Structure 1
Amino acid sequence: MYKYRSQFLLIAGLLFLSACSSYNKIPYFQNINRSAPTRENISNFTALTIQNSDILDVSVNSLNPLAYNDSTTRIKGYLVDHNGEIKLPMIGKLKVTGLTTSVVGEQIEQKLLTYLSEPTVNVRILNFKIAVLGDVLKPDNYQVLNERITIMEALSLAGDLNITAKRNNIILIREIDGKREYIPMDISSSKIFQSPYYYLKNNDVIYVQPDKTKYATVDGSYRTFSLVLSALSIAAIILTNVL
């Protein structure tokens, strides 16, 4: 009887170790020192630059209201054309691709000095959005109101990863300068914070791959069958040794 009990405990132990092994794949940033605060410099952030097909919002303020019907004029929805240019009143065509919105704002201010007193210009990308697909709680397209968003913030917008998602095999799809990139990312490691792709760009797509247990978590009958099968396997081993 002791022999059968030992075999049962061995099988139960193997099942427990298997569960522990699966759990080890779930936590984020596993190699962060959790015993004390740590600091590191941020060196991988680059300001967002304007690309072809972006839509720009240009807000102009001036101390000279006579130049306009109102002292504040908002010019909405300027599409950056295939030449990387927008066309503004009084100014004409302006090359904007590859520049940050702050630089474009400064250039517009300089050109408006001929017409306005102390112009102040703010430029914003209206169509800045990212998409999160795959094994997350709320897959969707998400509008970004500012010009800075990280992959972790994007996953948070999508309600975080489901328990069945692969933390070490997330794919970032990026189109920039007429090229498409597929970048694998691993958020189970703290190295994600140093990645040059940690900060997202306009129209980035994040795909979260589910692991092989996804079907089991979706299909309750399959889970029940698996448990019954495991129990029957243990019973069969014990009965075989008894007989």
Structure 2
Amino acid sequence: MRYNSLIRILTFIIFFSGIFGCAKRNLVYFSDIETGSSYSTNISQVEEPVIQSGDLIKIVVSTQSPESNLLFNSGVISNDSQNRMMNQQLPTNEGYLVDKNGQINFPVLGKIEIAGFTREEATIKMTELLEEYVKDPIINIQYLNFKITVIGEVANPNTFTLATDRISILEALGLAGDMTQYGKRENVLLIRDQDGVRKAVRLNLNDKSILNSPYFMLQQNDVLYVEPDKIKSVQASTNQRSLTILSILVSFGVSLMFNLRYILSE
């Protein structure tokens, strides 16, 4: 009788060990960098984001001619513009939407294809085009709707619109309030649309090699998905199967209590 009771207890312990053993999770980023040590790596060539259809970009033109500045930054020159030019800040456009053909409609120049260009390449192209009308133009191009999305097991899942086109995975997670304790740091999913192709990449943030990954820096419209671990999935489940498992565990617990009482009484 005592032998059978011990077998039941051992079975119960092994069962629970299997459940909670699967719940172990490494919550430390770059955990393979040893405490007190240093790590350095050459930064791989960062793939610059390119302008895409649907992007909203701001283009500011500066020249030696106040009249040209007003024309290219607003597209309209009023009759009293010369009286206002020297006395107030020149108006600037609110942004150019890149249409489905990858073009913007710019004052004087008309339709300009700009999709597929990086900001630097677009700046060079705009400068060359404007040099036919004004001397030594200075072009400044910025994204107005550069955005990334972070969802899943983070404190603040959201879509974030940024004033810069340079943001790393860690900065994006910081905006989202970091991962919760249930987030799989070793299996973060990055979804990216590029050149008409949508691809998904799994990234391990426990591994220091991510610092040299071409995916460490995010691009326009990237989506980060932090997957929950199995324990969170079990907690979130309210179906009949979960209730059945729970009842089995309760039965094991009751059986364990009676068996322990029996053993101790002998």
* Structure 1 position 16, deviation (Å): 9.0
Q: Which amino acid aligns with 2:211?
A: F
After superposition, the C-alpha distances for 1:203-236 in whole angstroms (9 at most, x for unaligned) are 11111111122267679xx9xx999888656534
C-alpha contact (below 8 Å) 2:114/2:122 kept by paired residues: yes
Query: What is the CA–CA distance in structure 2 between the aligned matches of 1:230 and 1:201, rounded to whole Å?
Result: 52
Q: Which amino acid aligns with 1:48?
A: P
C-alpha contact (below 8 Å) 1:62/1:72 kept by paired residues: no
Residue aligning to 2:76: none
Q: Which amino acid aligns with 1:151?
A: I
Report the RMSD for the aligned CA atoms in angstroms: 3.5
After superposition, the C-alpha distances for 1:176-205 in whole angstroms (9 at most, x for unaligned) are 222211211221222222222221111111
Which runs of no fewer than 5 residues in structure 1 stay unpaired?
none
Task: Tell me, yes or no, if structure 1 residue 87 matches structure 2 residue 105.
Answer: yes
Residue aligning to 1:38: 39
Which runs of no fewer than 5 residues in structure 2 stay unpaired?
71-80, 238-242
TM-score with structure 2 length normalisation? 0.74
**Number of equivalent positions:** 237
Residue aligning to 2:260: 238
Greater C-alpha Rg: 2
After superposition, the C-alpha distances for 1:63-101 in whole angstroms (9 at most, x for unaligned) are 211223447452332122222222211222222122111
Among 183, 199, 214, the residue aligned to 1:196: 214
**Which aligned runs of 4 or more in structure 1 are off by greater than 6 angstroms?**
11-21, 216-219, 225-231
C-alpha contact (below 8 Å) 2:190/2:200 kept by paired residues: yes
Residue aligning to 1:150: 168
Residue aligning to 1:128: 146
Residue aligning to 1:207: 225
Task: Tell me, yes or no, if structure 1 residue 138 matches structure 2 residue 152.
Answer: no
C-alpha contact (below 8 Å) 1:137/1:162 kept by paired residues: yes
After superposition, the C-alpha distances for 1:4-25 in whole angstroms (9 at most, x for unaligned) are 9xxx9xx999979986874552
Q: Which amino acid aligns with 2:46?
A: F
Task: Tell me, yes or no, if structure 1 residue 185 matches structure 2 residue 203.
Answer: yes
Residue aligning to 1:57: 58
Among 109, 114, 119, the residue aligned to 2:132: 114
Residue aligning to 2:123: 105
Cα distance, 1:73–1:31 mapped onto 2, change above 3 Å: same
C-alpha contact (below 8 Å) 1:58/1:75 kept by paired residues: yes
Cα distance, 1:28–1:110 mapped onto 2, change above 3 Å: same
Query: What is the CA–CA distance in structure 2 between the aligned matches of 1:26 and 1:75, rounded to whole Å?
Result: 46
Q: Which amino acid aligns with 1:46?
A: E
Query: What is the CA–CA distance in structure 2 between the aligned matches of 1:241 and 1:200, rounded to whole Å?
Result: 61
Identity level (%): 32
Q: Which amino acid aligns with 1:239?
A: R
TM-score with structure 1 length normalisation? 0.80
C-alpha contact (below 8 Å) 2:25/2:184 kept by paired residues: no
Q: Which amino acid aligns with 1:58?
A: I
Q: Which amino acid aligns with 2:110?
A: G
Cα distance, 1:122–1:169 mapped onto 2, change above 3 Å: same
Q: Which amino acid aligns with 2:119?
A: T
Cα distance, 1:233–1:107 mapped onto 2, change above 3 Å: farther
C-alpha contact (below 8 Å) 2:102/2:115 kept by paired residues: yes
1:208 counterpart SS class: strand
Mean Cα displacement is larger for which, 137-146 or 182-191?
A: 182-191
